[in-house]
Each structure stands twice: as structure tokens, then as C-alpha cells.
Amino acid sequence: MKKDIHPANYRTVVFKDISLDKSWLGKSTSNTKETMKWEDGNEYPLIKLEISSESHPFFTGKMKLVDTAGRIDKFKKRYTKKAAEEKPAE
């Protein structure tokens, strides 16, 4: 294995899947300004995830709609607008 290619600043962080509001401890080198008090009373850096293996349909086997950025509403708005323009006048 090559030496000095992996980061040395791994630290314990809290990962939070915001679509399920589920959190767990893990290790990461990612920078974050937010922190969270964990069950053990210690405060850890917080990394928020929109989707994780806990909520992704491939891992869960369930189709679940996750719309955190309003993408579905934007699509529906655009589609209905286009459909109205293409509708022939009677």
C-alpha cells in the first residue's frame, strides 16, 4: 500500500439523513460548521445528508419520494404550462 496518500485528520462526526431524521456516528474528514450534541453527551461535527443508504430505494427496497428542493413542483409547473400551450383551440 502506498504511504502518505490517505488523509490523517479523520474524526468522529454525526451523519444525519434529513429525509428520515435519522442520525448515526461515523468517521469523516469533511469540514462542517454545524455541530450536534450526541446521546453520550459529547458534541460532534454534523454532516447533513439528503439521502443515504437508510432512505435510498436501492438499499431499502421501497420506493419513497424525497423532494427536498421542490423539483417535483417545478416539473409539474413547467409541464402544465407546456401542455396548455400545445392544447389546440376549440
> In the prediction, which pLDDT does 3 show?
85
Residues 6+ apart with CB under 8 A from 67: 73
What residue type is assigned to position 89 of the chain? A
> In the prediction, which pLDDT does 2 show?
84
> In the prediction, which pLDDT does 39 show?
92
Spans of all domains in the chain: 11-86
Q: Write out pLDDT tens, residues 6-61.
A: 888 889 999 888 877 888 899 999 888 999 999 999 999 998 887 776 665 555 55
